[in-house]
């Protein structure tokens, strides 16, 4: 299964150009903030967060959270559970949740509410990709990389059964069964 090379959907060059543009936009929007706390959602966001954070020209710190959704891994059940919270105190700070992909929207909606309970100064969201047609809940993505169709994608942090996360591009694999 993981010997297959996924087909390219979004190339490494396209991703890097988009990440640079998003970083410029974020740096401009938060230019007056003392600090931006970037909260990466494990595991999928780790590469996007690494690239995006290093392109910013504003003071920033990094936190991670982890969630698990109940039910089958590839079908979002809508029920999300926090399995690891931020370690630092984010009260009164500007928070940017950094996600790999928004599918139904349940995860990002839950996380936005979760972060707000820490009473930060603000909460915004960034996602590298969004499956626009799959939305089940209304969520705003403040900084979006790309809209894609309803297909399973891998690479640049995204996995299929834990494989392909370190591919430099976003591609797709056809599940064999
Ligand atoms: P949502 O709650 O339905 O928006 O699900 C979002 C989560 O499902 C993401 O954070 C990913 O972990 C996972 N996910 C959804 N679609 C894909 C995909 O195409 N590839 C890899 N992971 C995905
Ligand atoms: Mg994720």
Tens digits of residue pLDDT in 87-134: 989 999 999 999 999 999 999 999 999 999 999 999 999 999 999 899
**pLDDT tens per residue, range 129-164:** 999 899 899 999 999 999 999 999 999 999 999 999
The secondary structure of residue 22, as a DSSP letter, is H
**pLDDT tens per residue, range 62-88:** 999 999 876 555 565 678 889 999 998
Where do runs of H (alpha helix) occur along 30-124?
46-55, 106-116
39 contacts 84 by C-beta, under 8 angstroms:
no
57 contacts 25 by C-beta, under 8 angstroms:
no
* pLDDT exceeds cutoff 60 at 53: yes
Contact 100 CB / ligand 1 (< 6 Å): yes
Contact 45 CB / ligand 1 (< 6 Å): no
In DSSP notation, 159-174 reads -BTTBSTT-SSEEE--
Whether the link from the prior residue into 43 is cis, omega within 30° of 0, is yes
pTM: 0.93
The CA–CA distances, whole Å, from 47 to 43, 74, 89 equal 9, 20, 24
Q: Which residue has the tokens 């950094």?
A: 98
Q: For domain 7-173, give the CATH number.
A: 3.40.50.2020
User: Per the structure block, which two tokens stand in for 29?
Assistant: 């929007």
Nearest ligand, CA 65: 2
User: Per the structure block, which two tokens stand in for 169?
Assistant: 């591009």
Query: d(Cα 10, Cα 147) in Å, to the nearest integer?
Result: 11
Query: d(Cα 91, Cα 68) in Å, to the nearest integer?
Result: 24
**Ligand 1 atom nearest to CA at 44:** 12
For Cα atoms 140, 47, 24, give the angle at the middle one, nearest 5 degrees: 60
Contact 44 CB / ligand 1 (< 6 Å): yes
């Amino acid at each position: 299964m993981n010997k297959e090379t996924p087909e390219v959907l979004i190339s490494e060059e396209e991703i890097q150009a988009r990440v640079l543009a998003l970083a410029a936009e974020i740096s401009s929007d938060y230019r007056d903030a003392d600090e931006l706390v970037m909260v990466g959602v494990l595991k999928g966001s780790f590469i996007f967060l690494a690239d995006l954070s290093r392109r910013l020209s504003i003071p920033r710190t990094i936190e991670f959270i982890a969630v698990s959704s109940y039910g089958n891994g590839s079908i979002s059940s809508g029920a999300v559970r926090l399995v690891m919270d931020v370690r630092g105190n984010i009260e009164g700070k500007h928070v940017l949740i950094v996600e790999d992909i928004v599918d139904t929207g349940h995860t990002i909606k839950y996380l936005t509410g979760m972060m707000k309970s820490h009473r930060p100064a603000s909460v915004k969201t960034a996602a590298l990709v969004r499956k626009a047609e799959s939305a089940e809940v209304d969520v705003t993505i403040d900084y979006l990389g790309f809209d894609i169709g309803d297909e399973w994608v891998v690479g640049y942090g995204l996995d299929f059964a834990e494989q392909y996360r370190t591919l430099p591009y976003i591609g797709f694999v056809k599940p064999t069964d």
